[in-house]
């Protein structure tokens, strides 16, 4: 009976420590207002955003379809500069009223500089 009791106590301690840690990390995260977020991050580089907000929940890069030139216009000359575009996604980071936050914030970088920010529910 004693080994089972020890195992139960250890499991409860582990669960309580994990829940306290998760709560403290959620509470430590800053929630921004829309204009405050825009003013802080517009024109900043990826290094600044990573240092300020931490690692994003998700990262994506746009993909151009094979036959896109046929629909959008002329083909891009091969000697032109290629833009590096990347989108980073953060959950529950920007508030739109005193009690609610947007479910997702997308930050779009073009050549390592913030060029667009989108707040989505």
Average pLDDT over residues 84-108: 95
Q: Answer yes or no: CATH 3.30.1450.10 is held by domain 31-120.
A: yes
Q: Where are the domains of the chain?
A: 1-30, 31-120
Degrees to nearest 5, angle at CA 82 with 115 and 119: 25
The pLDDT of residue 12 is above 80 = no
The pLDDT of residue 28 is above 70 = no
Query: Which H, E and C letters describe the chain, residue by residue?
Result: CHHHHHHHHHHHHHHHHHHHHHHHHHHHCCCEEHHHHHHHHCCCEHHHHHHHHCCCCEEECCCCCCCHHHHHCCCCCCCCCCCCEEEEEEECCEECCCCCECCEEEEEEECCEEEEEEEEC
What pLDDT is attached to residue 31? 95
pLDDT digits (tens, 9 = 90+) for 36-74: 999 999 999 999 999 999 999 999 988 777 776 666 666
The pLDDT of residue 81 is above 70 = yes
85 Cβ partners below 8 Å, 6+ apart?
61, 62, 108, 109, 110
């Amino acid at each position: 009976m004693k080994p089972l009791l020890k195992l139960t106590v250890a499991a409860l301690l582990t669960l309580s420590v994990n829940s306290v840690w998760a709560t403290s990390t959620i509470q430590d995260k800053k929630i921004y207002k829309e204009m405050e977020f825009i003013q802080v991050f517009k024109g900043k580089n990826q290094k600044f955003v990573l240092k300020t907000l931490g690692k994003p929940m998700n990262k994506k890069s746009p993909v151009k379809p094979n036959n896109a030139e046929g629909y959008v216009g002329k083909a891009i000359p091969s000697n032109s500069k290629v833009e590096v575009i990347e989108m980073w996604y953060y959950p529950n980071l920007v508030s739109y009223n005193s009690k609610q936050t947007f479910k997702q914030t997308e930050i779009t970088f073009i050549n390592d500089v913030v060029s667009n920010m989108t707040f989505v529910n």
